[in-house]
Structure 1
Amino acid sequence: MKLPALLFFAATLVSLAEEKRPNFLFIITDDQRWDAIAAVQTEQGGKARFPWLHTPALDKLKSQSASFRNAFCTTSLCSPSRATFLTGQFTHTHGVTNNHTPFPSNSTTYATVLKEHGYRTGYVGKWHMGNQDERPGYDFSASFRGQGKFFQCPVVVRKDGERKEIIADKWIDEASTDFAIDFLRQNKERPFLLTVGFKSVHGPREPHPDHQSSYTGESAKPVPNLDALSPFRPAAEQGPRRFNAGNPKLLDYFRTLTSADRALGRLLDEVDTLGLEKNTVVIFTSDNGYYLGEHGLGDKRSAYEESLRLPLLVRSPFHDPKRSTTTPIVLNLDLAPTIVDLAGITPPAAFQGRSLKPLLEGNTPDNWRKDFLYEYFYERNFRNPPIVAVRTESEKLVTYPGRESWNQLFEVRDDPYELTNQIANPEKAELRQRLEKRLDELKRETAFKIPGSADPDRFGNEKPARKARR
């Protein structure tokens, strides 16, 4: 065989090998509760808080995906969780402890690994780590600094070494979807990784104009833990934070979510139109959970279930269709090793999470985790104290360093609303000791430390924080 023919044959083999490598579409919403999917509300039946929710795109994706019903974040806060997605590391390892620390540009991420192995990488939408402009590890980005805006949002576009800044002329998640669709069309013939960060449903919430009056007249159903107040906020402060069942601001949460659902539908339809659906892994999740009045709270940060739990759907050619619901504990730090593993690459040792590939294939390893470490580091202007906790399959121990009288012990399997703190119950002393020991073990196993970006004066001190700015 002559040299030109050999070169052509070799190039053909490379092309065929690349065709077999899966593409990745990783979609992250902001502050979306695990149960803020209409199909999940339907599954909950009489326990559903908002059965009127309408999310057709998410419902369709869920019907095609592995649904992870015990997915959690290890720090319930936007920037730390987003850094965890990228690095597969705990917050105390990657060091992004708050919403104003930039992401370390020299970090090993799922994007840097795939880029090194020939993937075209793109990032669209919300990044939200300080006011950082670059998107390390991505060949292309169309993204905004900080929180951005729902309307007239400045977007920085970076491609092939060039940078320009434009003003989005439409609702920001629709504009991000346009950029994402362009990326898919331009890269459909080669292996790609595209991460899409929707601004929705983070406040202040401004739904798409088409949904500004959706759900008018609807109200959220009450749940038992609306009056089960948290120890770190006096009752006098928590009362006004109770979400009125028909409060327009609460309804705007769902109006904004439904607006984003329509954008998601456009994006997934484009995957199908381009014929990419059979070889594209679609991952959908949120950066953290969110309170809608439970425990008298809004926002997230603390360690109750509404804050920790995430929606997580994975549509994949590796997914066993017989196993639509997956129940083992999975974490936000598992997604980086999962993406790398599904690409056929050995995950870096720096990743602290575990690949979900065996779970997708219908197998749960005997040594799969039974618990995990949760951590939150004080952030200025918020009253939430530092937290270190362990959550098992059936219990949870929450500790407040320096405020031990606030510590909590819940049997979450039997007490899902976390109504009864068993920390001082002598009948639960053995359970408490076991969880305290396990928490110490997890801290050692994960090399727990107070990162340099955290405020050490706020970790375990007695000084009150300044009033939160909402």
Structure 2
Amino acid sequence: MNIRLSFKGAGFVLACLFSGIFAKPLWAQQKQSRPNIVIIISDDHALSTIGAYGAKYGASPHIDQLAKQGATFTNAFVNNSLCAPSRATLLTGKYSHVNGLRDNRDQFDASQDVFPRRLQQAGFQTAWIGKWHLKNYPQGFDYWSILPDQGQYYNPDLIGMKGDTVRKEGYCTDIITNLTVDWLDKRDKTKPFCVIIGQKAPHRPWMPDARDLRRFEQTKFALPANFYDDYKDRIAAQTQDMSIAKTMQLGYDLKMKNDPADPKSAINATKRMNPVQQRAWNAYYDSVQNDMVKQQLSGKALIEWKYQRYMKDYLATTVSLDRNIGEIMDYLDKNHLSENTIVVYTSDQGFYMGEHGWFDKRFMYEESMHAPFIVRYPKMVKPNSKVSQLVSNVDFAPTFLDLAGVSIPKEIQGKSFVKLLKNGKEKIRESVYYHYYEFPAEHSVRKHFGIRTDRYKLIRFYGKQDFWEFYDLKTDPHEMKNLYGDKSKQALITALKAKLLALTLENKDQLAEGILKKEN
């Protein structure tokens, strides 16, 4: 069929083309208007070390800048403070007992419904780059490149989509960022994207980039007020194995070659390093060790020396994490992506920085279950805003789907908090639920579940021994006084037990439900 156009008609068509009216079909315009999503999830990043949450160390300028540009959630919690279970919850929007990953020894069923696959089906490009830690290969992603298990800080191996393992020269945090930028450069720019950047840092054993080794060398860190906690009336705290005094190793954790318990661990840490990296590393830690030997430390002096070394290494490791977050932000800005990109910074859980004399996580106490959560989205989120409403990491997946305009499946247990992002006041939860399973295992933290409201926390420990703990966070924010036996609190405790039972029913936690019903 031949179509003839007058000069006037042809001119109109050309004008429309140049104006963009016919440049793209409507569906393509709609896809482009949907936001991109960048999720940066670190490992074991404590709120107490982040400037946006009040830290004074200067270790997080780029995270702090992200917070100024968006919203800082001051009451975001995880439902199981452990690496793999937290990632499984992020992906599924379901509690550990439903998504099947209760502890780090389990293998994640990646074929189950995960939010990136939902985005993929809706036309998004999806990627996971970095630490995965779920004992199998990702599904629901157009691209992935993952660290085997925990991964290595120096010259790490990465597994590609064909199952091939390649060793990359350099520092892990930098490499993950470089892989992310490379993927962003090569993506199909006609589609929205969602990339999850899984950083290893600052996971134990806190190995800083060589350029950051001396960053906090002159800093003297104040001991937490409860560093020498006596754990009175707290059975689980008395029996844990995560103390700086007894558990933290001179060799593995603090890089000393004179550790009588494990003299080879510090040397083994450098085996992956190239000669340049080794020279920088040995020059620094040999000088630290020589100084320690000269002091002839013992007792409290040695414990407090270990604390100082822990803080220096941990924070120096977060400096690289923060610097690389800045590089991702710069990339988005330079490529004109910032306005239409949701950027989330979070960690898989909190971490102890000497509180109660501990490192690690696992407990339902504040430092462990309380995680950073910062969101920048210029189209919706007011700059420099604070959100104090309770949210759980089970809520993250439905929120990402909601932001992308993708329907939330009814099987998801979390709740979208998009309304909360818009106004900062919309309460979606009266409480958050927690359940930790990994016992007996490393650090000897007993199994427990519980409820945290705006003010109160009720915890049920079970297994080897059954007992309760109750805290008033307003009068006792550091959870030093277990009030479960206080007669004046019994009516309140009874009410919280009823709410806890209701949560086990709502969340289909039959194990916890059975324990509570048996007790009654």
Decide whether the 8 Å contact of 2:223 with 2:354 is kept in 1.
Answer: no
Paired position in structure 1 for 2:236 = 232
- Equivalent positions of 1:288-367 (< 5 A) are 288-321=349-382, 324-362=385-423, 364-365=425-426
- Cα deviation 1:13-48 (Å, max 9, x = unaligned): 22211110110000000000123212323xxxxxx5
Deviation at 1:320, TM superposition (A): 3.7
Out of 252, 256, 262, the position equivalent to 2:323 is: 262
Decide whether the 8 Å contact of 2:69 with 2:384 is kept in 1.
Answer: no
- Equivalents in 2 of 1:88, 1:11: separation in Å? 35
Paired position in structure 2 for 1:114 = 119
Amino acid at match of 2:388: T
Amino acid at match of 1:137: G
- 1:286 to 2:347 alignment: yes
- 1:205 to 2:211 alignment: no
Between 219-228 and 386-395, the greater mean CA deviation after superposition: 219-228
Amino acid at match of 1:266: E
- Equivalent positions of 1:438-453 (< 5 A) are 438-450=499-511
Between 170-179 and 96-105, the greater mean CA deviation after superposition: 96-105
Amino acid at match of 2:210: P
Deviation at 1:351, TM superposition (A): 1.2
Out of 65, 73, 81, the position equivalent to 1:68 is: 73
Please give the secondary structure, in 2, of the residue aligned with 1:346.
coil
Deviation at 1:297, TM superposition (A): 2.3
Paired position in structure 2 for 1:221 = 222
- Equivalents in 2 of 1:222, 1:249: separation in Å? 12
Deviation at 1:263, TM superposition (A): 1.1
Amino acid at match of 1:240: K
Paired position in structure 1 for 2:110 = 105
- Equivalents in 2 of 1:253, 1:61: separation in Å? 21
Deviation at 1:438, TM superposition (A): 1.1
Paired position in structure 2 for 1:34 = 47
- Equivalents in 1 of 2:341, 2:504: separation in Å? 36
- Cα deviation 1:68-88 (Å, max 9, x = unaligned): 100000000000010000000
Paired position in structure 2 for 1:466 = none
Please give the secondary structure, in 2, of the residue aligned with 1:89.
coil
Paired position in structure 2 for 1:464 = none
- 1:393 to 2:468 alignment: no
Point out where structure 1 has 5 or more consecutive residues left out of the alignment: 42-47, 461-470
Paired position in structure 1 for 2:173 = 173
Out of 146, 149, 160, the position equivalent to 2:149 is: 146
- Equivalents in 2 of 1:314, 1:59: separation in Å? 11
- Equivalents in 1 of 2:339, 2:159: separation in Å? 32
Deviation at 1:379, TM superposition (A): 4.0
- Equivalents in 2 of 1:291, 1:84: separation in Å? 22
Decide whether the 8 Å contact of 2:349 with 2:370 is kept in 1.
Answer: yes
Deviation at 1:404, TM superposition (A): 5.9
Between Structure 1 and Structure 2, how many residues are aligned?
A: 437
> Percent sequence identity over matched residues?
30
- 1:414 to 2:484 alignment: no
Out of 417, 427, 434, the position equivalent to 2:495 is: 434
Out of 357, 381, 396, the position equivalent to 2:441 is: 381
Paired position in structure 2 for 1:467 = none
Amino acid at match of 1:175: I
Change (3 A) 1:166 1:409: same
Please give the secondary structure, in 2, of the residue aligned with 1:35.
helix
Amino acid at match of 1:325: K
Please give the secondary structure, in 2, of the residue aligned with 1:234.
helix
Please give the secondary structure, in 1, of the residue aligned with 2:154.
coil
Decide whether the 8 Å contact of 1:323 with 1:362 is kept in 2.
Answer: no
Deviation at 1:296, TM superposition (A): 2.8
TM-score by length of 2: 0.79
- Equivalents in 2 of 1:53, 1:135: separation in Å? 35
- Cα deviation 1:291-320 (Å, max 9, x = unaligned): 122223221111110001010001113434
- Equivalent positions of 1:42-53 (< 5 A) are 51-53=56-58
Please give the secondary structure, in 1, of the residue aligned with 2:47.
coil
- Cα deviation 1:38-73 (Å, max 9, x = unaligned): 2323xxxxxx5xx22321211111111111100000
Please give the secondary structure, in 1, of the residue aligned with 2:226.
helix
- Equivalents in 2 of 1:12, 1:431: separation in Å? 60
- Equivalents in 2 of 1:291, 1:269: separation in Å? 31
Change (3 A) 1:180 1:438: same
Out of 21, 29, 54, the position equivalent to 1:16 is: 29
Please give the secondary structure, in 1, of the residue aligned with 2:423.
coil
Between 371-380 and 282-291, the greater mean CA deviation after superposition: 371-380
Amino acid at match of 2:235: P
TM-score by length of 1: 0.87
Please give the secondary structure, in 2, of the residue aligned with 1:232.
helix
